[in-house]
Every structure is written in structure tokens, then in C-alpha cells.
A and B are shown apart, each in its own frame.
Chain A
């Protein structure tokens, strides 16, 4: 696996503009037992883009992936995936998609190599390339030395890596990754993030990443879509979402003795304080930190001015990019 390349650099790349999106979804819906599992999804994903799909269990993530890969037929709406209709052209489409499902879905009685050999045949990997491809993906995911072992004897993390190896076996154009880092130790999870980032950045592959790991989504995703009860509750770059949901904040550090005065000054200028003890936190030995909520980098001069105009000293002022967790909680908070 390759080294992790963090995409968190303070800038949120916009989706590349291309004439034909890798995913073009319009009003896609699916009902189970009369209840909508997916209520009408609209989403475009550009080739080479990584989009994270977030949501509680039952929010519709797995249903979305099954619809987009032609495993389920939609009850409403339509989708074009890599230019194909998933339901009527599913077989052609699935040759170009790779999936790592939440459960690894590997036969525990077979060796890793035998499992991959089966899927090489199912995905139409040319016979003459089969052995080399299998060795290559096993090597990439650190499993070559255990290739002949039964999968039932693998640890959870190894099984997860093997599922990812299977997903990459036929070099698909589009990856559906459902909780890919579940069961991986921190080092393996970091290597996995590097692999996913490289898929898009270096190989131009498109990735739809379903995850509960918000930090992973924040690091990897160009855009984030939050599903709530089968509906698309929010979509945008992490930065856009932070701004939209007021989750960006500024951290202000002032001398301990000026803490109360700074607090008053900021409130008088209309700023909102957030976090523990209404945004105040003593930082030993001699400073106090205040968190100004719903304020991005662009409000930093105003905050500084409020402190300085009050005749106070500013020890430190940090813009804090919103965490996706804040956004996620804000989106889900709306429904409470």
C-alpha cells in the first residue's frame, strides 16, 4: 500500500467539471414494505471524485449502493452510473464497479487465493492475467504471505483487507466502499486511506465511500453527502457544510485575568460562544481560551478587533476548521 496523503489542507476542492458524471442520480427512491428506504436522491459525482455518504444505520446508504450497482430496482427516479442504467445494464456496469460490502462476504472455508480466483472468473479478468493480478492485489494489501491460508483463520482486519483486494482485482472505474476501515488497526486504516486517496488522485477512479468514521470522511472526501431517513439532508465540501451549518469556529486565547472582560467584549459585538462552560476554558498557567461559534476564517479580523478595541491583549487566535462531526450532529440535530 502507498503512504497516506492527507487531503485536509484547509482547501476543499470543488468537484472536477466533466461532461459525463460518473454518477448521475435523479429522484432515486426505494421502498421497503411501503416505507421509503430512499426517498428521492439527487446527486452527481464527477469522475475521479471521492464522495462520502454519511448517515445513521438505516439512513439509506446500503440501499443507495445496491440501487447504483443494479442489485435492487428503483421504485422511483433514475440513475446513470458510468453512463449505464444500473438496472437494465447491470451486468455491463458491474464489470466496471468494485464493491467492498460492510460484511466481507468471503468464503471462510477457502483460501484467500481461491476466493480471489473465483471473483477473477466472475469479473472476467483475462485468464492469462489472473495469477499476476491476484498476486498483485494480495501483495498490495499485505496478504501475499498468507495467500494459501483459509480465510476462516484470518483476523478481522486481514479479512477486511482481503475484501478490499477483491474489490480492486479487476481494476474498476468506480468503487463502492462500505465501511472499508471497519476492523482495521490504526496503521492499516491509515494505509487504506492512502490507497483510497491514490485511487482518485493518481488513477482517476471514482469512489463512493459509505462510512461512520467522520474523520475518515473529512480526510478523504472531496464532498460529503449526509443521508437522513432516506433523504439527502446535506451535501457539499466539508468547508461548505461547515459554513452552512455554522460549525466553523475561532479559538481566542487571552490572559487569564482578562477572560471575563474578553467574554463580555465578544458577546457585546454579537459573537456567540460555544463549547464547554459556554466556550470558556482555562489554559494553565495564565491564559483563558474562548470558542467563538459559527465564525470562519473570514471573521477572524472582527474577533481580533473586538478584543483589542476593548483594550485587552490577544495571546492567540486560531481559526478551527469545522469537524464533520459538528456538521453531522447539526444535520441530525435538525430532525430532533
Chain B
């Protein structure tokens, strides 16, 4: 019986060169770069500042807004609800909205970064006619796939983590006079930033790679890849409706499920990523 040949070692230099090149072109392509700058700036900086400013100058009107959050408030754990009840209405609204209600929206950023870069790296390569030379290069399909995957996933994770730190700093500083303490519950934001966010980015990436194999242009891949944002919006709605409340346990479970989904998506995507199939579509 012949021994099974061990897998060839990763060509780290090639993987790094591919990832570096894909990232390099992202910063030179306005159509790709602009959404990567504008959306995080809105989500991580402008949105929290706008909400805190509105809460501070809004005065009594805030109480009416709070009524909209009644179902979320009712579904919170007793200890948390007791803490929140001691707060002024404006402080309570800021804590509920910025700490809990829109927390899942922050997953959109790593998801979007991963999808945009992946659409450019996979479908864009085909659109620009630059794929053929890569297929003729002495590069294993696995290494080509990994290089492109990392080019999209690493910046998505980095933007997600740095953005969350920035968001936490802005919210804490800006809301401190109103709330008198930290607004973001660590049990929600830490697992979201380091566990769920990277998993969501990978899911967006896997979906975009699958879609890219079937479309011809960057725009098509990016637009179709946008469907993966739907579960995140559903999570926001479910939380606002009081169906779920994000906490460390729930996020750990959700993250684990997404990582599992990532595994399936990537296996399927990699199976479709054969030289022969890619060459047949040139």
C-alpha cells in the first residue's frame, strides 16, 4: 500500500505577495476604498456622537423615545434593568441604544470590508483580465485561495477591532457626563469584537468568493454579497422586539454557529476554486 503523500508546505512568500498586492490595489481604487472609509467613519464615529449629542440636548423628548425601547428594556436581565431604572431617561436611552440595541450593526463593518476586498480580489481579477497570468504561475490553488482570503479577512478583522476600540473610547468619553460611567457592556462588546466579528467577516468572504465564481464583475459580486447583511439586521430587529438580548453566552453560541457556517462555506468555495474551472471562464 502506497503511503499518502504529505501536503506540500505553504508557499508563504507567494501568499504574502498576493495578499499585499490585493491590499495595495484596494488603497488605489476609489470605488473600493471609499466605502471602506465612509461606512466605518459613520458607524464608529458619527453615529455615537450624534446620538449622545441628541440625548444631551434633547431633554424631555428623550422620554418619548424611550417608550420605543420598552420591549427591549422589559426583556433585559433583572440586575441590568434595575441599574438602568436608576438612570435619567436620556442616560438610559444612550446606554440601551449604543450599548445594546445597535450593537449588532457594528458587525456590518467587518462584513462589508471583507466583502468589498474579496469582490475585488476574486471577481475583480477576472474583470480586469489579470487572472490568467496567476493561473499560469507556479502557485498551488490552495495558496492562491489563501492569499486572496487573507487579503480580505485580515483588514476586515483589523478594521472591526480598531473600530470597536475607537467606538468604545468615543462613547465612553462623550457619554460619561450623561451616564456617569462606561456605557458599553463588556459582556456584549468583547465577544462581539473578537469572536463574532471575525466569524461574520469570514462568512461574508466565503459568500463573496462563491458569488464571484459565478459573476463577471466586481460590482455584481459586491452587490450580491450584500445579502449576508440580512441576518445582522434580523438580529437588530429581534433585539428591539425583545425576542433576544445579546449577552456573552448568546454571542458565544452565535459566534460558534457562524464559525461552523464559515467552515462549510469555505470548503464549498475552495472546491469551486480549481484552476480548470477558473480557466474555463476566462
Encode contact with A along B18-51: 1 for CB under 8 Å, 0 otherwise: 1001001100110000000000000000000000
Interface residues of A in 71-90 (CB under 8 A from B): 71-73, 90
**B10 proximal to A (CB < 8 A):** no
- Restricting to A131-186, which residues have a CB under 8 Å from any CB of B? 163, 166
The answer to whether A122 touches B17 (Cβ under 8 A) is yes
Against B, the Cβ 8 Å flags (1 = close, 0 = not) of A107-141 are 11110001001110111100100000000000000
Q: Give the residue name and chain of the B residue nearest to A178 (CB).
A: B132
Question: With contacts A66-B279, A106-B130 known, is A94 near B25, CB below 8 A?
Answer: no
Contact B133 A121 (CB under 8 A): no
Instruction: Check if B16 is an interface residue, CB within 8 A of chain A.
Output: yes
| Cβ contact of A118, chosen from B17, B128, B131, B280, cutoff 8 A | B17
Q: A114-B21, A118-B18, A118-B21 are in contact. Are A124 and B138 (CB under 8 A)?
A: yes
Which residues of chain A from 202 to 245 have any CB-CB distance to chain B below 8 Å in the complex? Answer: none
Residue contact A105 to B129, C-beta cutoff 8 Å: yes
Find out whether the CB atom of B279 lies under 8 angstroms from the CB atom of A71.
yes
**Interface pair B17/A117, CB less than 8 Å apart:** yes
- Across-interface contacts of B8 in A (CB, < 8 A): 91
Contact (Cβ within 8 A) B140 A91: yes
A92 to B138, CA, bound (A): 7
A114 to B130, CA, bound (A): 14
In the complex, which residues of chain A have a beta carbon less than 8 angstroms from the beta carbon of B128?
107-108
Q: Tell whether A316 is near chain B: CB-to-CB under 8 Å.
A: no
Give Cα distance in the complex from A109 to B124, angstroms.
Answer: 12
The answer to whether A99 touches B133, judged by C-beta atoms less than 8 angstroms apart, is yes
Is B161 among interface residues, defined by CB-CB distance under 8 A? no
Which residues of chain A are within 8 angstroms of B24 by Cβ–Cβ distance? 110, 114
How far apart are the CA atoms of A93 and B132 in the complex, in Å?
16
Interface string of A291-315 (1 = CB under 8 A from B): 0000000000000000000000000
The yes or no answer to A103 lying at the interface (CB within 8 A) is: yes
Are A94 and B136 closer than 8 Å at their CB atoms? yes
A122, B137: Cβ atoms under 8 Å? yes
User: Which B102-140 residues have C-beta < 8 A from chain A?
Assistant: 128-140
Please tell me which one of the listed residues B28, B129, B139, B279 contacts residue A122 in the complex, with CB atoms under 8 A apart.
B139
B132, A101: Cβ atoms closer than 8 Å: yes
How many residues on B have C-beta within 8 angstroms of the other chain's C-beta atoms?
28
Q: What are the residues of chain B within 8 A of A66 when measuring CB–CB?
A: 279
> Which one of A73, A107, A123, A127 lies within 8 Å of B130 (CB-CB)?
A107
Interface residue A64 (Cβ < 8 Å from any Cβ of B)? no
Given known A71-B276, A110-B21, A117-B17, contact A122–B132 (CB-CB < 8 A) = no
Contacts of A26 in B (CB 8 A): none
- Which residue from chain B places its CB closest to the CB of A118 in the assembled complex? B21
Q: How far is the CA of A127 from the CA of B14 in the complex (A)?
A: 12
**What is the total number of residues of chain A having a CB less than 8 Å from a CB of chain B?**
35
Give the docked Cα–Cα distance between A110 and B18 (Å). Answer: 13
In chain B, what residue has the closest Cβ to A99? B136
Instruction: Report the minimum CB–CB distance from B15 to chain A (whole Å).
Output: 9
A5 on interface, CB distance cutoff 8 Å: no
Give Cα A109 to B14, complex, Å. Answer: 20
A24 at the interface (CB under 8 A from B): no
> Which residues of the partner chain B approach A124 to less than 8 Å between Cβ atoms?
13-14, 138
Q: How far is the CA of A73 from the CA of B78 in the complex (A)?
A: 64
Q: Would A72 and B138 count as touching, CB distance under 8 A?
A: no
Contacts of B249 in A (CB 8 A): none
Minimal Cβ-Cβ distance residue in B for A106? B130
B81 within 8 A of A: no
- Is A95 engaged at the interface, CB distance under 8 Å to the other chain? yes
Could you tell me if A119 and B133 are in contact, using CB atoms closer than 8 angstroms?
Answer: yes
Find the B residue at minimum CB distance from A115.
Answer: B21
Q: Name the residue on A nearest B25 (C-beta).
A: A109
CA distance A23 to B258 in the complex (A): 49
Closest chain A CB from B81 CB (angstroms): 53
- Specify which chain A residues have a CB less than 8 angstroms from the CB of B17 in the assembled complex: 117-118, 121-122
* Chain B, Cβ-Cβ closest to A124: B138
Q: In chain B, what residue has the closest Cβ to A93? A: B138
Please state if A73 and B276 are interface contacts (CB–CB under 8 Å): yes
Asked if residues B133 and A71 are in contact (CB atoms below 8 Å), the reply is no
* A119, B20: Cα distance in complex, Å: 12
Residue of B nearest to A101 (CB): B132
Taking CB as reference atom, which chain A residue is nearest B17?
A: A121
The distance from the CB of B30 to the nearest CB of chain A, in whole angstroms, is: 11
Q: In whole angstroms, how far apart are the Cα atoms of A99 and B138 in the complex?
A: 11
Tell me, in angstroms, the Cα distance from A270 to B116 when the chains sit together: 74
B147 CB → nearest A CB, Å = 9
Whether, in the assembled complex, B275 has its beta carbon less than 8 Å from a beta carbon of chain A, the answer is: yes
Chain A residues, CB < 8 A from B29: 109
The answer for the CA separation of A123 and B279 in the assembled complex, in Å, is 19
Please list the 4 inter-chain residue pairs (A to B) with the smallest Cβ-Cβ separation, ordered nearest first. Answer: A121-B17, A105-B133, A94-B138, A95-B138
Q: Which residues of A contact B (CB under 8 A)?
A: 32, 66, 69-73, 90-95, 97, 99, 101, 103-110, 114, 117-119, 121-124, 127, 163, 166
21 contacts between A and B (CB under 8 A): A69-B136, A71-B275, A71-B276, A72-B275, A73-B276, A91-B8, A93-B138, A94-B137, A99-B133, A101-B133, A101-B136, A103-B129, A103-B132, A105-B132, A107-B128, A109-B29, A122-B17, A123-B137, A124-B14, A124-B138, A163-B133
14 additional contacts, CB 8 Å, given A110-B28, A122-B17, A123-B137? A71-B276, A72-B275, A91-B138, A93-B138, A94-B138, A105-B131, A105-B132, A107-B25, A107-B128, A108-B128, A109-B25, A110-B24, A114-B24, A122-B139
